Chain A
């Protein structure tokens, strides 16, 4: 796999506060990465360091194969940090022209990228007349101008209304479908779950987990069950070796697996034992449940 960003033992201190502590991870080409963590967990600081706006205290990082300076590497990167920042007195097109000049790319992509984010008809309007959702979409267009190898998004849906959030997510999905590597920092778990294949979980500047989203917790999932023979079912479950913990909430029984087992095998087994299930669902913990489990364990 081709590495795009490698971070080794990165540390950032703001006075007495350690915002990022000994952080290491690698971003490889072609995947969609999420950086997940509550507010103040060091997500933005980490991105700020690799984007050259925050000075690191210790450790190092390098872009691509490491033979390129950060300054040059950033011309192959598209990034949006927190709020969209543009010159309010310039129109969308003029702002993008300026970005083209900075990145050293041709102006001919401007219309194409404005079409992707649906702002082409507003390109001659001044930036200060834009709504937050439009500003954020313009920021994405600006980040795409150089056809970046990696797109970095820091809380891209922060402060947007549901429609705006949906638009941004759709744009991100479309970009990811084209094979662009994406690094998405967010505290919204469902956002990361919907978009990302890999995740780095941070808490108070420390890495808790890095890897695939679906392997975040060693878990075989759980069954949600209902049956008329409530007590008999509980008795059977307690005896079964594949079943670990059992949780009962009224009619609903939740049985956690400690060995892999498919829902149809389980259904067959119950039928043989003479228990007819009126409700059977096999589920895995949602990212939110996994995340809480992960952060609680520490």
Chain B
């Protein structure tokens, strides 16, 4: 396993473009996080201090940071699709196989790298969230601090699921740009399925349940948007805006199921193909 990770790391590390993208995907969420946590004074007119909104309070901070940080996954998504696309355009995939890497090892080396990257991203966000939370949070009771730490697990699973989908698209179309376009296509397809279910079943509720099983929506459902929750904390008596934002075990199971399927399909596709 270490051998496969080392092989893939050499390929990424020496490629300037992917190196820059990896750094961006690590550093950008931090910059945003740190910028948002400091007090910004707009030329003495007013001060913007996000920490006063209570968003840096434990445990809601876990929810908020993981939600916003997950938008930066697109940078690494480009790396994932290009690490497949480049192997095809340089024809190094063929050479790797001739040199003695099996097709299974090839897919696994990419997948392990995805897992490794997701783990690093999760750990970094976890540490940053913890530090900022300790600094700003009004409550620093141990039980409260770690109460919703499962958002980190959700974040980790979400990243792996999304990158595995990119891996499959990369293997499927062999070109980085087209693979990214496929993500958009899938997004549209999921909405089409949604509207088709609305039409058939007649209720939006059922349609959302069906959509919850589709790849992109199931990943999104892992970490629901936190804005409504922030409003909820401001107006606790407004019961009509209540919603279920928790991380459920079945949400994780659905995404892990998709992940397994994506990796398996990538391998099967590669196995069937003549290079």
Which A residues lie at the B interface, using CB under 8 A?
Answer: 14, 48, 51-55, 71-72, 74-75, 77, 79, 81, 83, 85-90, 94, 97-99, 101-104, 142
Give A54 to B102 CA distance when docked, in angstroms. 12
Q: Quick one: which of A48, A72, A75, A99 contacts B274, CB cutoff 8 A?
A: A48
User: In the complex, are the beta carbons of A88 and B272 less than 8 A apart?
Assistant: no
Cβ contacts B67-89/A at 8 Å (1 or 0 each):
00000000000000000001000
Q: CB-CB < 8 A to A54: which residues of B?
A: 274-275
Q: CB-CB < 8 A to A94: which residues of B?
A: 10, 14
Q: CB-CB < 8 A to B16: which residues of A?
A: 89
If A85-B91, A86-B90, A101-B7 touch, whether A52 touches B98 (CB-CB below 8 Å) is yes
User: In the complex, are the beta carbons of A86 and B102 less than 8 A apart?
Assistant: no
User: In the complex, are the beta carbons of A85 and B10 less than 8 A apart?
Assistant: no
Asked if B94 CB lies within 8 Å of chain A CBs, one says yes
Give A140 to B86 CA distance when docked, in angstroms. 22
Q: Interface residues of B: mostly helix, strand, loop or mixed?
A: helix
Q: CB-CB < 8 A to A90: which residues of B?
A: 10, 14
Q: Quick one: which of A83, A87, A99 contacts B99, CB cutoff 8 A?
A: A99
Whole-angstrom distance between the Cβ of B90 and the nearest chain A Cβ:
6
Give A87 to B165 CA distance when docked, in angstroms. 25
User: In the complex, are the beta carbons of A81 and B10 less than 8 A apart?
Assistant: no
Asked if B3 CB lies within 8 Å of chain A CBs, one says yes
Q: Quick one: which of A14, A87, A102, A142 contacts B90, CB cutoff 8 A?
A: A87
Whole-angstrom distance between the Cβ of A4 and the nearest chain B Cβ:
16
Whole-angstrom distance between the Cβ of B143 and the nearest chain A Cβ:
47
Whole-angstrom distance between the Cβ of A64 and the nearest chain B Cβ:
14
Q: CB-CB < 8 A to A88: which residues of B?
A: 90
Whole-angstrom distance between the Cβ of B99 and the nearest chain A Cβ:
5
Closest to A80 in B: B98
Whole-angstrom distance between the Cβ of A94 and the nearest chain B Cβ:
6
Give A79 to B95 CA distance when docked, in angstroms. 9
Q: CB-CB < 8 A to A14: which residues of B?
A: 274
Q: CB-CB < 8 A to B96: which residues of A?
A: 102
Q: CB-CB < 8 A to B230: which residues of A?
A: none
Q: How large is the interface on B (under 10, 10 to 19, 20 to 34, 35 or more residues)?
A: 20 to 34
User: In the complex, are the beta carbons of B92 and A53 less than 8 A apart?
Assistant: no
Give A85 to B271 CA distance when docked, in angstroms. 20
Whole-angstrom distance between the Cβ of A249 and the nearest chain B Cβ:
49
Whole-angstrom distance between the Cβ of B125 and the nearest chain A Cβ:
30
User: In the complex, are the beta carbons of A86 and B92 less than 8 A apart?
Assistant: yes
Asked if B186 CB lies within 8 Å of chain A CBs, one says no
Closest to B6 in A: A101
Task: Provide 20 A-B residue pairs closer than 8 Å at the C-beta atoms, listed in order of the A residue.
Answer: A14-B274, A48-B275, A51-B97, A52-B98, A53-B94, A53-B98, A54-B274, A71-B102, A74-B98, A74-B100, A85-B90, A87-B11, A87-B14, A87-B86, A90-B14, A101-B7, A102-B99, A103-B100, A104-B3, A142-B99
Q: CB-CB < 8 A to A51: which residues of B?
A: 97-98
Cβ contacts B29-69/A at 8 Å (1 or 0 each):
00000000000000000000000000000000000000000
Asked if B15 CB lies within 8 Å of chain A CBs, one says yes
Q: CB-CB < 8 A to A99: which residues of B?
A: 99
Whole-angstrom distance between the Cβ of B255 and the nearest chain A Cβ:
31
Whole-angstrom distance between the Cβ of A175 and the nearest chain B Cβ:
18
Q: Quick one: which of B14, B91, B95 contacts A89, CB cutoff 8 A?
A: B14
User: In the complex, are the beta carbons of A98 and B91 less than 8 A apart?
Assistant: no
Q: CB-CB < 8 A to A101: which residues of B?
A: 3, 6-7, 10
Give A109 to B86 CA distance when docked, in angstroms. 27
Q: CB-CB < 8 A to B100: which residues of A?
A: 71-72, 74-75, 77, 102-104
If A71-B102, A75-B100, A85-B90 touch, whether A102 touches B275 (CB-CB below 8 Å) is no
User: In the complex, are the beta carbons of B91 and A79 less than 8 A apart?
Assistant: no
Q: CB-CB < 8 A to B97: which residues of A?
A: 51-53
Q: Quick one: which of A55, A74, A97, A104 contacts B10, CB cutoff 8 A?
A: A97
Give A103 to B98 CA distance when docked, in angstroms. 10
